[in-house]
Amino acid sequence: MAFALPQERAGFSMPKGVASPHVLITGAGEKAAYGGISALLLRGDVKQLIICGYCGAISNVPVGTVVLPRRVVNGYANNDAQDLTPDGALLASIDSSLHPGVLRDVTLLSCSRVLLNRDEKLEAASQHNLQHPAVVDMETVACARAAAEVNVPWAVIRVVTDSLDDTMPLDFNQLNDRNGQTSLLRIVLAAMAKPSSFGGLIQLGGRAKAGTRLLHDALHQLGNTYGAPV
């Protein structure tokens, strides 16, 4: 299983009696995700990959919705890689394990940066309107491309933590280091320089915490059905 951020994985464990999968935290963004997954797959013992974590809505998908995308659209800047499709057999296996509330027939867009507000989200969606993306992240295409290069089946499970109308309280694009990590110290210093951001940060943290629980519940359903996926 691959998560981008530590808080996406925080507290995760498989149900009692189910073998724990190998879990990787790649860091945020295309470069960190591709590098982390490529290094993992060099081990040669990874049979399938599930890409997990948060995503944002660029349509009217509600916060707290768990999504199982059928299509993944490449929205990276200066990247001519094709759009990607999850492995059909793995997707079907996961699909059969999840409860009916999971949004399945959805397209995910991977972008090079955090989309900060409604205008940026609508702009990103409009640039790929033929594919009709509903949710957005920064890592899935990079992870999927690394898996596809070595013929490892992959699929995606994510949870929506910000709505189309939510505005990021800080510009997180300015806070990541070269490895795609954002330290708490950087966030605190940025918030101190912009005191109006504190309320939004608290709300974002609450949505992320609730999203983590919902995501982990979905992953537990997989473990209960057929054991650890990776």
* Number of structural domains found in the chain: 1
Tokens 């089946």 — which residue?
A: 153
Q: How confident is the model at residue 216 (pLDDT cuts 50, 70, 90)?
A: very high
Question: In the structure encoding, which two tokens stand for residue 21, read together?
Answer: 């999968």
Of 145, 159, 153, 158, the C-alpha closest to 230 is 153
Q: What is the mean pLDDT of the chain?
A: 87
In this prediction, residues 201-213 reach a mean pLDDT of: 92
Segments forming the whole domain that contains residue 142? 2-226
**What is the predicted pLDDT for the residue at 39?**
92
CA-CA-CA-CA dihedral for 10, 86, 68, 45, to nearest 10: -30
Q: Could you report the per-residue pLDDT of 149-197, keeping only the tens digit for each?
A: 999 999 999 999 999 999 988 888 788 776 666 777 888 888 888 888 8
Nearest of 229, 5, 53, 33 to residue 147 by alpha carbon:
33
Is the pLDDT assigned to residue 66 strictly greater than 80? yes
Beta-carbon contacts of residue 88 (< 8 Å; ≥ 6 apart):
none
Quote the CA–CA distance of 58 and 115 in Å, as a whole number: 9
Least confident of 31-40, 104-113, 116-125, 178-187: 178-187
Which stretches does DSSP call E strand in the chain?
2-3, 24-25, 49-57, 66-67, 71-75, 107-111, 135-137, 154-162
**Kind of pairing between the strands at 154-162 and 135-137:** unpaired
Beta bridge partners, 57, equal: 135
pLDDT bin (cut points 50, 70, 90) of residue 228 is: very low
The domain that holds 29 is classified in CATH as: 3.40.50.1580
Question: Do 36 and 72 meet the contact criterion of CB atoms below 8 Å apart?
Answer: no
- Least confident range from 20-29, 42-51, 77-86: namely 77-86
Mean local confidence (pLDDT), 133-157 = 94
